[in-house]
Structure formats: C-alpha cells, structure tokens
Amino acid sequence: VENALQPKYLQGKKILITAGPTFERIDAVRGITNSSSGKMGFAIAKAAIEAGAEVILVAGPTPLPTPLGARRVNVSSSQEMLGAVNAEVPRVDIFVSVAAVADYYVLNPSEQKIKKDAHILTLELAPNPDILANVAGLAEPPFCVGFAAESENLLEYGEQKRRRKKLPLLVANQVQDAMGAEDNEVFLLDDHGQHKLNRAPKLDIARAILQHTAKLYREYHN
Ligand code: CTP
Ligand code: CA
C-alpha cells in the first residue's frame, strides 16, 4: 500500500527492459518474426516508471507508443538487441527480459530480393545467443527477471528455464493466453515456490510482477 508520503517502491532504481519481437532478415524485403505485440514489456516499462524507476526500454519492431518518461532504444534483429542490452547492462540494477527474442537467425541473408523459381528453397538458420542467460551469467549481474512463453507443461518448463538461466525470478505464461492479448494470466516462479496472478489487464499484471521483483530484490541485497 502506497501513499504520497511513502517513497515509491522502485525509487532510484535503474531498470532495463526488453520488449516486443525481433526481426531476422532473409533478404531485402523479407524476414522472420513472431507474434509478440510488445504489450507486456511496454506495460512493465509503464509500471516501472510509476514506481519511480529510471527505465531503458529496448524495443523490437512494434508500433506501440513509448511510455512517458522511458528512454527507448529501437532494435530490429536479436543481434542488435544483444548489442543494445550489453551497452546498458553495466549501469542497471534490474533487468527484465520480456522480448520474444528469435532463437535463430538466417545465416546468409540476401542483399537482393530473392527471385522465385520452381524449386524448394532452403533457409539455413543458426542459433542466436541467449541475451538473458548471458546477462544472468555476468560476474556482477543485475537482478534478472525472465519470462517463459510455453504452449504446454507451463510450470515444469518454466521452472527448468529459471534454473538453467540462473534467475531469481521467472514469469511463466501460456502463449495461447498471452501473445497479442490485452489481458494475461501468469505464474511467478522463485526460490520460495510459485504464485499465480489471476487473469487481468497487462498493466495490472505488470504492477504485481514489479512489486514482487522489488520485494525479492531487497531480499537479495540485504
Ligand atoms: N531470451 C533471450 N534471448 C534469447 C532467447 C530468449 O534473452 N535468444 C529470453 C526471453 O526474453 C525470456 C526468456 O529468455 O525472458 C525465455 O525465453 P523463451 O523463448 O521462453 O525460452 P528459450 O530459452 O528461448 O527456450 P525455448 O524457446 O526453446 O522454449
Ligand atoms: Ca525461445
């Protein structure tokens, strides 16, 4: 519970957020992307500003307006997102990785528009680095919050992901519920266990995620 006399719960904290899809170029006019709208990440940015944080929002391609007060860095490919994150991460207290980062990039994108012919076209895809796992593995990482988009076995896969990436907090959501939608329903997974946030508008979910993040952040830093 907050009032005008209490400091806001993220006052003085610097938060880096990734949001939206990425776009991996195939040729001069085409690319591979996904159905992330960016709404959840932008809601986190808005909620973080409300809570008094300084916000850097690294955004993949999305038409969403920049939340008032956020510093936005636009990127397209996962490689660009990695570069933007690495440039900012040494100075932040908290990293919230909401972006739906492409797991693969196109090995040899064509400078020119690829012409059609009657044959099967094969694209070669190579794995992208995991931005979040890299940040969480730094010698002095910021407090890292991951997301997991799963289409099945939500809690099991989510907890596996949290452990593999060494995250103090992971937000697990069902892709069928989350992607592109106005509302979301998520599970918060941390060292204490799991906690459900019932279906609500993404801004409400974002506020609850950040309140939980601030609480855990204080536990880790005391
Ligand atoms: N993530 C990232 N960089 C990547 C891939 C994912 O930073 N190259 C981050 C996402 O922003 C999210 C978390 O890792 O916070 C989990 O992403 P998700 O796609 O659910 O998991 P993956 O580890 O990529 O595994 P998979 O897609 O196979 O389920
Ligand atoms: Ca993935």
Q: What pLDDT is stored for residue 176 in this prediction?
A: 84
Residue 95 has pLDDT above 90, yes or no: yes
Any ligand 1 atom below 6 A from CB of 173:
no
- Parse the chain into domains and list their residue ranges: 14-107+121-220
Q: Measure the CA–CA gap between 220 and 222, rounded to whole angstroms.
A: 6
- The topology (CATH level 3) of 14-107+121-220 is Rossmann fold (3.40.50)
Of the listed ligands, the closest to the CA of 175 is 1
Q: What pLDDT is stored for residue 1 in this prediction?
A: 56
User: What is the spatial order of strands in the sheet that 71-74 belongs to?
Assistant: 71-74, 54-59, 14-19, 94-97, 143-150, 169-174, 183-190, 193-201
- Percentage, residues of the chain above pLDDT 90: 92
Structure confidence by residue, pLDDT tens digits, 7-25: 799 999 999 999 999 999 9
Structure confidence by residue, pLDDT tens digits, 127-164: 999 999 999 999 999 999 999 999 999 999 999 999 99
Any ligand 1 atom below 6 A from CB of 10:
no
Q: Measure the CA–CA gap between 163 and 80, rounded to whole angstroms.
A: 26
Distance 98 CA to ligand 1 centre (A): 9
Which residue, chain included where needed, has tokens 């939980």? 212
Show binding-site residues for CTP.
103, 113, 129-132, 147, 161, 165
Residue 97 has pLDDT above 70, yes or no: yes
Q: Locate the ligand 1 atom nearest the alpha carbon of residue 161 and give its number.
A: 23
Distance 104 CA to ligand 2 centre (A): 9
Q: What pLDDT is stored for residue 2 in this prediction?
A: 54
Least Cα distance to 165 among 73, 108, 95 occurs for 95
Residue with the larger pLDDT of the pair 2 and 145: 145
DSSP state letters, 119-172: SPP---EEEPP-HHHHHHTSSSPPEEEEEEEESS-HHHHHHHHHHHTT-SEEEE
Residue 3 has pLDDT above 70, yes or no: no
Least Cα distance to 189 among 216, 168, 215 occurs for 168
Confidence band for 183, pLDDT divided at 50, 70 and 90:
very high
pTM confidence score:
0.96
Structure confidence by residue, pLDDT tens digits, 184-211: 999 999 999 999 999 999 999 999 999 9
Any ligand 1 atom below 6 A from CB of 128:
yes
Angle, CA of 93, 143 and 71, to the nearest 5°: 45
Calculate mean pLDDT across residues 14-41.
97
Q: What pLDDT is stored for residue 177 in this prediction?
A: 81
Q: Ligand 1 atom 20: the closest Cα is on which residue?
A: 148
Any ligand 1 atom below 6 A from CB of 24:
no
Q: What pLDDT is stored for residue 222 in this prediction?
A: 72
What's the one-letter identity of residue 26?
I
Distance 174 CA to ligand 2 centre (A): 13
